[in-house]
């Protein structure tokens, strides 16, 4: 069974990252697809925009201001360049100035961005974008042609030229322009980039993303639940095995005594002695009662499992019933214990099934004495708080570890520390206690420190 558990755990450990990885790959694919769709959508939109600009009756040139500025500037630069010697450092720096000036003028004085933005908005699309202008070639002409800047990858509109060579993949090349003025030749490209592109794609992929995350969460939860159930079942089956071992042990003791008593009765010496016959008969009787109790306990537990067990509750004075229980305990199993009682319950009455209630308190009292390696000292306190009766039983016994505390009320559970057969039991007493407290609409709480002792508190409505 546990080997199977390990295999399932291993499969889970392998399958979950695999599932997450496959989901990531799928999502990446969807993301890329959306990215491309967005790219081609805006690309065709910009083409439409350009066509619409050209076809509109009163054609407005979005670069008219730029052209005027560049005409004027290039004339001046041409004059200045005549003065500068070729191959000088001054020429290099001048070229840089000219390049910068052209780029700034193009970026700041064009009206193409405003036009595109308006067009996108009119068509119902995202209007915010960043534009980028890339100069491919710039010459200043003054009789001679002086090249100011030339991009190495630029080869005068060779068809293999790709937009991607100038910047990020998400940039959309909107147009290539070739301006020729009296004193300059200029070739540049105009790109747009969507600053909110990630958000736009995220919005469009939100459903797939949410479904992927949800399916991962579902599978992981399912795995955890299945695995935990398996562990629980395994623990229960271990507990059952322990229970059967304990039960056999418990049943064997009275049976062995009865067998020996039977043999004793066969002896001539004993048969002639009435006193011995009576003692042996009493012993057999006592052991039979014990056997009967054990068998009844098991029968009752299995009955509880099958049916919702029902109490016959009636209003009961809690102080009275507690005093009765304590008295018979002190005269029976609790003879060796020092029992302190502090019941501040006044005349409080609660709806109790007296038989079950007595069993519950007796179980707690006998555990307080049983799981003790000193002279047992038991304190029984009772008080009423917020409409609830609190009955606590404190012992100076061996205590219970934190790990055991979590399972102590489970059926068949016995604390594993120490010798399990040192203290006789079946691991049913506290299971009973919890069931009975709950059936009364209450609960049982435990605080304990190993080596110091335990406090079991039963809380029942009154």
Q: Is there binding between residue 400 and ligand ADP (CB under 6 A)?
A: yes
> What binding mask, one character per residue, do residues 203-232 give for ligand ADP by CB under 6 A, x or -?
------------------------------
| 326 near ligand ADP, rule: CB under 6 A | no
Residue 393 CB contacts under 8 Å (≥ 6 apart), including other chains: 361, 364, 365, 368, 378, 379, 380, 455, 456, 457
- Structure token digits, residue 117: 């933005």
> Judged by CB under 6 A, which stretch of 58-66, 350-358, 396-404, 435-443 contacts ligand ADP?
396-404
Tell the smallest beta-carbon distance from residue 229 to ligand ADP (Å). Answer: 23
Q: Which of residues 120-149 bind ligand ADP (CB under 6 A)?
A: none
Run of H or E residues at 142: strand 130-142
Output the smallest distance, CB 298 to ligand ADP, in A.
12
Ranges of beta strands (E only) in 143-222 are 144-150, 172-180, 184-193
User: Which one of 78, 81, 138, 368 is in contact with ligand ADP (CB under 6 A)?
Assistant: 368
Nearer to ligand ADP (CB atom), residue 361 or residue 400: 400
Least CB distance to ligand ADP at residue 450 (A):
9
Nearest approach, Cβ of 221 to ligand ADP (angstroms)?
A: 32
Among the listed residues 414, 434, 435, 440, the single contact to ligand ADP using CB under 6 A: 414
Contact between 334 and ligand ADP per CB under 6 A: no
Which range touches ligand ADP (CB under 6 A), out of 94-102, 253-261, 340-348, 390-398? 390-398
Would you report the helix, strand and coil content of the chain in percent, each value rounded to 5? 55, 20, 25
How far is Cα 423 from Cα 16, in angstroms, rounded to an integer? 45
Backbone phi and psi for residue 220, each to the nearest 5 degrees, phi listed first: -65, -45
Residue range at the interface with ligand ADP (CB under 6 A); choices 65-73, 153-161, 330-338, 407-415? 407-415
DSSP-derived secondary structure for 14-59: HHHHHHHHHHHHHHHHHHHHHHHHHHHHHHHHHHHHHHHHHHSSS-
Residue reference for tokens 């003790």: 372
Choice between 382 and 399, CB closer to ligand ADP: 399
Q: Which one of the spans 97-105, 156-164, 367-375, 435-443 is the region binding ligand ADP (CB under 6 A)? A: 367-375
CA atoms within 13 Å, Cβ hemisphere of 127? 11
The single-letter DSSP state of residue 333 is: T
Give the residues lining the site for ligand ADP (CB under 6 A): 363, 367-368, 371, 395, 397-400, 408, 413-415, 425-431, 454
């Amino acid at each position: 069974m546990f080997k199977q558990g390990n295999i399932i755990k291993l499969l889970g450990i392998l399958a979950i990252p695999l599932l997450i990885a496959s989901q990531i790959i799928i999502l990446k694919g969807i993301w890329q697809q959306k990215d491309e769709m967005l790219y081609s959508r805006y690309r065709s939109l910009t083409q439409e925009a350009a066509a619409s600009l050209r076809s509109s009756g009163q054609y407005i040139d979005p670069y008219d201001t730029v052209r005027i500025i560049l005409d004027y500037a290039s004339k001046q630069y041409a004059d200045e360049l005549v003065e500068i010697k070729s191959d000088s450092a001054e020429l290099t720096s001048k070229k840089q100035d000219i390049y910068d000036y052209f780029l700034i003028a193009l970026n700041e004085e064009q009206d193409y961005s405003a036009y595109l933005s308006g067009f996108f908005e009119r068509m119902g699309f995202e209007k915010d974008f960043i534009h980028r202008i890339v100069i491919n070639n710039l010459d200043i002409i003054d009789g001679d042609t002086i090249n100011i800047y030339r991009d190495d990858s630029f080869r005068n509109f060779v068809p293999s030229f790709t937009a991607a060579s100038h910047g990020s993949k998400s940039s959309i090349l909107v147009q290539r322009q070739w301006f020729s003025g009296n004193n300059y030749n200029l070739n540049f490209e105009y790109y747009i980039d969507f600053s909110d592109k990630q958000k736009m794609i995220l919005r469009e992929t939100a459903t797939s993303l949410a479904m992927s995350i949800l399916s991962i969460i579902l599978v992981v939860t399912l795995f955890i639940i299945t695995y935990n159930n398996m562990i629980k079942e395994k623990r229960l089956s271990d507990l059952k095995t322990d229970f059967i071992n304990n039960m056999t042990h418990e049943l064997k003791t009275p049976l062995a005594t009865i067998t020996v008593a039977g043999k004793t009765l066969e002896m001539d010496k004993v048969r002639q002695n009435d006193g011995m016959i009576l003692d042996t008969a009493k012993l057999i009787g006592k052991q039979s009662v014990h056997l009967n109790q054990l068998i009844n306990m098991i029968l009752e537990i299995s009955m509880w499992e099958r049916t919702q067990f029902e109490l016959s509750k009636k209003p009961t004075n809690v102080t009275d019933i507690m005093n009765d229980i304590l008295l018979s305990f002190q005269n029976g199993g609790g003879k060796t214990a020092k029992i302190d009682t502090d019941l501040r319950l006044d005349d409080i009455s609660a709806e109790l099934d007296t038989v079950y209630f007595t069993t519950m308190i007796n179980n707690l009292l006998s555990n307080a004495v049983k799981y003790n390696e000193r002279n047992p000292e038991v304190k029984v306190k009772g008080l009423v708080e917020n409409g609830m009766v609190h009955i606590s039983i404190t012992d100076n016994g061996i205590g219970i570890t934190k790990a055991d505390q979590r399972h102590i009320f489970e059926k068949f559970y016995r604390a594993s520390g120490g010798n399990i057969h040192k203290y006789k039991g079946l691991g049913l007493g506290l299971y009973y206690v919890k069931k009975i407290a709950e059936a009364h609409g209450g609960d049982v709480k435990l605080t304990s420190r190993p080596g110091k002792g335990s406090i079991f508190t039963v809380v029942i409505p009154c």
